[in-house]
Structures are given as structure tokens and as C-alpha cells.
Amino acid sequence: MFVVSLTYKVALSDVDQHIDAHIAYLEKQYADGHFLASGRKVPRTGGIILAQAKDREHLDTILRADPFYQADVADYDVMEFEPSMFAEGLDALNG
């Protein structure tokens, strides 16, 4: 499992030019089963994605398709972890 932290490197007005395409990208990744949760950081300096992929290389390929990545509006910090405990109801993530 992966935690992806996006940090905007341009003004929000520049980020917002790509927001509709980014949302469509997120929706596709949810439909494909790659993303489990996502949202904006508070304050709005970027976002967080909880992702699953077969390996880091596969995730990197997925992230390169993000319109934010392609427009170079955000830096991506990826952390891989192996969950060992889950809240009730989330144990299905243990796979």
C-alpha cells in the first residue's frame, strides 16, 4: 500500500486550471481499484492519495497519467508501507 503526498509548486489559480481533468483521472483510478481514498490537504497546499498497486513501478506509471503530474503543478512524495492493523470493517484491505 502507498501514501502519495502531492505538494503544489504553483499558484492555486494554476492548479485549478487542471482540476477537472485531475478529478476525472481520480475517478478512473478508483474505478480501476488503484485508489482507496484521496483529498485535499488542509490548508490547501496539495493532496493525499491512499493507493494500492502491485509495486512501486506500477504506481509510478499510474501517477504519470495524472494531469497534475503532466502539467508539472505538483511534486509527488510516495511512501510505501505494509499495514499490519486495521480498523473494524477495513480488514478487506489486508490482501
Write out pLDDT tens, residues 9-64: 999 999 999 999 999 999 999 999 999 999 999 999 999 999 999 999 999 999 99
SS3 73: coil
Across the range 67-87, mean pLDDT stands at 94
- Lookup: cell for 50: 491512499
| Residue 45: closest CA among 65, 15, 77 | 15
Return all residues near 40 (Cβ < 8 A) that are at least 6 apart. 46, 47
- Lookup: cell for 66: 495524472
d(CA 60, CA 57): 5
Across the range 66-76, mean pLDDT stands at 98
Q: 74 forms bridges with which residues in the sheet? A: 8
